[in-house]
Amino acid sequence: MINIQSLTFSYRKNKPLFQNLNLRLEAGHVYGLLGKNGAGKSTLLKQIAGLIFPDQGFCEVNGHISAKRQPSFLQDIFLVPEEFYLPGIKVQTYVSIYAPFYPNFDHNTFFAYLKEFNIPDGQNLTEMSYGQKKKVLISFALATNTKVLIMDEPTNGLDIPSKSQFRKLIASALSDDKCIIISTHQVRDLDNLIDSIVIIDNHQIVFKEDVQTVTDKLSFKTVNRLEDIGTVLFADSSIKGHHVITPNNGYDHSKVDMELLFNAVLTNQKPIQEIFN
Amino acid sequence: MEFKDTQAIYLQIADYICEQVLLNKWPPEERIPSVRELAVALEVNPNTVMRTCELLQQQEIIQNKRGIGYFISPDAVKKIREYKKEAFINNELPSFFRNLYLLGITLDELKPHFEKFKKSKFNGHEN
What is the b/e burial string over A160-187, where b = at least 16 CB atoms within 10 angstroms of the residue's CB? eebbebbbbbbbebbeeebbbbbbbeeb
Whether residues A158 and A63 share a domain: the answer is yes
* Residue A106 pLDDT: 95
Check if the beta carbon of residue B11 is closer than 8 Å to that of residue B53. no
Whether residues A60 and A167 share a domain: the answer is yes
For residue A38, being part of any structural domain is answered with yes
Inter-chain touch B43–A164, beta carbons under 8 Å: yes
Whether residues A188 and A255 share a domain: the answer is no
User: DSSP state, A193?
Assistant: T
The pLDDT tens digits of the residues spanning B24-68 come to 889 988 899 999 999 999 999 999 999 999 999 998 899 998 888
For residue A155, being part of any structural domain is answered with yes
For residue A95, being part of any structural domain is answered with no
Whether residues A36 and A81 share a domain: the answer is yes
ipTM of predicted complex: 0.85
Check if the beta carbon of residue A271 is closer than 8 Å to that of residue A233. yes
For residue A77, being part of any structural domain is answered with yes
Distance of alpha carbon A137 from alpha carbon A157, whole angstroms: 12
- Which of A171, A194, A257 is the closest to B46 by Cβ? A171
On chain A, the residues whose CB falls within 8 A of the CB of B44 are: 167, 171, 192-193
Inter-chain touch B51–A212, beta carbons under 8 Å: yes
Query: pTM higher than 0.90, yes or no?
Result: no
* Residue A138 pLDDT: 95
The pLDDT tens digits of the residues spanning B90-101 come to 888 988 998 999
* Residues of A contacting chain B (CB within 8 angstroms): 28-30, 164, 167-168, 171-172, 174, 192-195, 211-212, 215, 221, 253-257
Give the CATH number of the domain where residue A29 resides: 3.40.50.300
Confidence of residue B127 (pLDDT cuts 50, 70, 90): very low
> For each successive 10 residues of chain A (277 residues), what is the average pLDDT?
93 89 95 93 94 94 93 95 92 94 95 90 88 94 96 92 92 92 90 93 92 90 82 85 86 87 89 85
Nearest chain B Cα to A169, which residue?
B40
User: Most A CBs within 10 Å: which of B13, B45, B86, B98, as the mutation test of the A interface?
Assistant: B45
For residue A243, being part of any structural domain is answered with yes
Residue B124 has pLDDT above 60, yes or no: no
Which range of residues forms the domain containing residue A71?
A: 2-85+144-202
On chain B, the residues whose CB falls within 8 A of the CB of A163 are: none
Give the 3-state secondary structure of residue B75. Answer: coil
* Residue A195 pLDDT: 92
- A249 vs B73: which has the higher pLDDT: B73
* Residue B122 pLDDT: 58
User: DSSP state, B33?
Assistant: P
Check if the beta carbon of residue A149 is closer than 8 Å to that of residue A2. no
Nearest chain B Cα to A256, which residue?
B8
User: Most B CBs within 10 Å: which of A109, A116, A193, as the mutation test of the B interface?
Assistant: A193
CA dist B32 → A89, A132, B20, B52 (Å): 45, 35, 10, 13
* Residue A27 pLDDT: 95
For residue A187, being part of any structural domain is answered with yes
- Of A202, A232, A247, at which residue does a domain stop? A202
* Residue B33 pLDDT: 92
CATH of B9-76, one of 3.60.10.10, 3.40.50.720, 1.10.10.10, 1.10.1060.10: 1.10.10.10
* Residue B123 pLDDT: 57
Distance of alpha carbon B127 from alpha carbon B107, whole angstroms: 23
Count of structural domains, chain A: 2
On chain A, the residues whose CB falls within 8 A of the CB of B33 are: none
Whether residues A35 and A74 share a domain: the answer is yes
